[in-house]
Amino acid sequence: MSGSGQDPRIGPAGRRGCGPGIESLSSLAAIVEKISPHRPGAGSLPAPDSVFVAVDQRGRALNFAGVVPSERQRELARTVTDPAALSRERGVREVKMGGDPYRVVGARLGDGSTVLISTSTKAVHESLLLAFKFDAAVGGLLLVLLALITLVNANRTLRPLGDMVKTATAIAEGDLTRRVPGRHDPVTETEQLRLALNAMLQQVESAYVTRERSAAQPRRFVADASHELRTPLSAIRGYLQLSAKGMLSGEAEHARALARMTDEADRMARLVDELLTLARLDQRPVLRLRPVDLSRLVRDATDDLRAQQPDRPLDVAAAGAVLVRADESGLRQVIGNLLTNVRVHTPAGVPVRVELGCSEAGEVRLRVHDEGPGMSGEDADRIFDRFFRAGGGVAGSGLGMAIVHAVVRSHGGAVSVRTASGTGLTVTVTLPRARPEAEDTAGGPSGG
């Protein structure tokens, strides 16, 4: 049997045929199923891009069924240096043949040889590379889109902060009227910050305007006072110059000049007294409060008006004692200024009504009403301003109503004006009423 001359490497597979051959085919089918599990049928042959070779224990390619191994089969045999170990691992090994990737599995046959089957994974790698490029492209586009969305959202979110910076810059340059524009989204933190900032800016502007007004008021007050004092001083100086130059002839002219200088001096003295009164009230002095019968002060003031203008119709409604806790000299000045305002600014035949009583809230209410020409709404808004004269008139100092307002406020009261052109003028003074225990202790002296 050994002298038959057949190649000993293929002798067992060809000569015996049944035992080892069947075992080899079964092993081959198992190898095919292992390397290509997606192919139907356990006995399917390798794909066209697969390489199949049988090697001996040294890894040399063997003839199989009389077929000489091709160059690719020999290359596969050379690539796998340890076929026995590969068959024992029962796994898959990645190799390179001709620069292309392959997956190799092996199985040991009954005659000691090893069958190697490899299949190319180039298409798989190309598919993976294509999928990677696609994923990278899609991922890049998504990143760009995400960056754009983030940029737009960031700009939208930070735009109010930019508006705040512009507003702060404008305010720093002196424009206190600027405000941060709104975005109509009150639930965001930036919108809440905008509202808080605008509220703060409004307070800053109000405080600045108040400070400027307070700073301008003394300057205007000094200017107005200087102007008011200049008029009587100029008159007095003029008469003195006439007298010094001998331009006053006779006792009659000297007497008239002396009377005019006396009037101007009295006017200047009254103006100085009123200025001192306002200055004292501005300093908020401690008032000497005691129970005062306001009806008595009203009767005294109206009696003075009757003495000065006996032909003026005057109606007084002040029955009974009305006690307030106040500084008596201050209230006398209030009532006197109100009636002086009527006497100076209305004709002598205009009726005047003075009412004194208590409101339902328990406050004392003094009302002085005349049926004179009244004043416009603009003049009524400024009636308590210092040195203001309605209609640009020259009568009076322009301080009487300012003193009324200051004295009433210092007593915790309020004063209001109701008027219109041609309908007369009504001034209402409201003061807190004295407590009952103060009324009981005030009895005799204040009631006289």
Examine residue 181 and state whether it is found in any structural domain, yes or no. Answer: no
pLDDT band at 36 (very low <50, low <70, confident <90, very high): low
What distances in angstroms separate CA 391 from CA 58, 191, 194, 395, 416, one per listed residue? 130, 49, 46, 11, 19
Number of domains comprising the chain: 3
Asked if 295 and 428 sit in the same domain, the reply is: yes
Determine the Cα–Cα distance for residues 30 and 44; give it in Å rounded to an integer: 10
Asked if 333 and 234 sit in the same domain, the reply is: no
- Percent of the chain topping pLDDT 70: 81
The closest alpha carbon to 47, from 99, 131, 122, 117, belongs to: 117
pLDDT band at 446 (very low <50, low <70, confident <90, very high): very low
Asked if 274 and 362 sit in the same domain, the reply is: no
Examine residue 359 and state whether it is found in any structural domain, yes or no. Answer: yes
Asked if 269 and 364 sit in the same domain, the reply is: no
Asked if 294 and 408 sit in the same domain, the reply is: yes
- Find all residues with CB under 8 Å of 87, minimum gap 6, and list them: 106, 107, 108, 114
**CATH number, domain with residue 200:** 1.10.287.130
Higher pLDDT, 356 or 216: 356
pLDDT band at 439 (very low <50, low <70, confident <90, very high): very low
Give the CA count within 13 Å in the CB-facing half-sphere of 33: 10
Asked if 437 and 324 sit in the same domain, the reply is: yes
Examine residue 210 and state whether it is found in any structural domain, yes or no. Answer: yes
Q: What is the pLDDT of residue 2?
A: 36
**CATH number, domain with residue 87:** 3.30.450
Given a cut of 60, is residue 190 above it in pLDDT? yes
230-253 residue pLDDT tens: 778 888 888 888 888 888 778 888
Determine the Cα–Cα distance for residues 20 and 27; give it in Å rounded to an integer: 10
Asked if 257 and 306 sit in the same domain, the reply is: no
Given a cut of 90, is residue 64 above it in pLDDT? no
Give the CA count within 13 Å in the CB-facing half-sphere of 133: 5
Asked if 213 and 321 sit in the same domain, the reply is: no
Examine residue 132 and state whether it is found in any structural domain, yes or no. Answer: no
Choosing from 223, 248, 282, the residue where a domain stops is 282
Choosing from 255, 282, 309, the residue where a domain stops is 282
- Percent of the chain topping pLDDT 90: 14
Q: What is the pLDDT of residue 66?
A: 67
137-169 residue pLDDT tens: 999 999 999 999 999 988 887 888 888 888 888
Name residue 32's beta-bridge partners. Answer: none
Which stretch, 33-37, 230-234, 426-430, has highest mean pLDDT? 426-430
Examine residue 84 and state whether it is found in any structural domain, yes or no. Answer: yes
Asked if 235 and 337 sit in the same domain, the reply is: no
Q: Are 81 and 58 in contact (CB under 8 A)?
A: no
Q: Over the Cα atoms of the chain, what is R_g?
A: 59
Asked if 15 and 47 sit in the same domain, the reply is: yes
Examine residue 412 and state whether it is found in any structural domain, yes or no. Answer: yes
Determine the Cα–Cα distance for residues 178 and 160; give it in Å rounded to an integer: 14
Determine the Cα–Cα distance for residues 248 and 250; give it in Å rounded to an integer: 7
**CATH number, domain with residue 428:** 3.30.565.10
Examine residue 244 and state whether it is found in any structural domain, yes or no. Answer: yes
Mean pLDDT score of the chain, rounded to an integer?
Answer: 78
Q: What is the mean pLDDT of residues 311-319?
A: 87
> 362: which 2 tokens?
């328990």
Determine the Cα–Cα distance for residues 337 and 379; give it in Å rounded to an integer: 18
Give the CA count within 13 Å in the CB-facing half-sphere of 212: 7
CB atoms within 10 A of CB 422: 10
Asked if 274 and 309 sit in the same domain, the reply is: no
Choosing from 83, 103, 120, the residue where a domain stops is 120
Q: State residue 120 phi and psi, 5-degree precision.
A: -70, 135
Q: What is the pLDDT of residue 436?
A: 55
- Domain with 405, as residue range(s), is 290-447
Asked if 21 and 108 sit in the same domain, the reply is: yes
Determine the Cα–Cα distance for residues 286 and 288; give it in Å rounded to an integer: 7
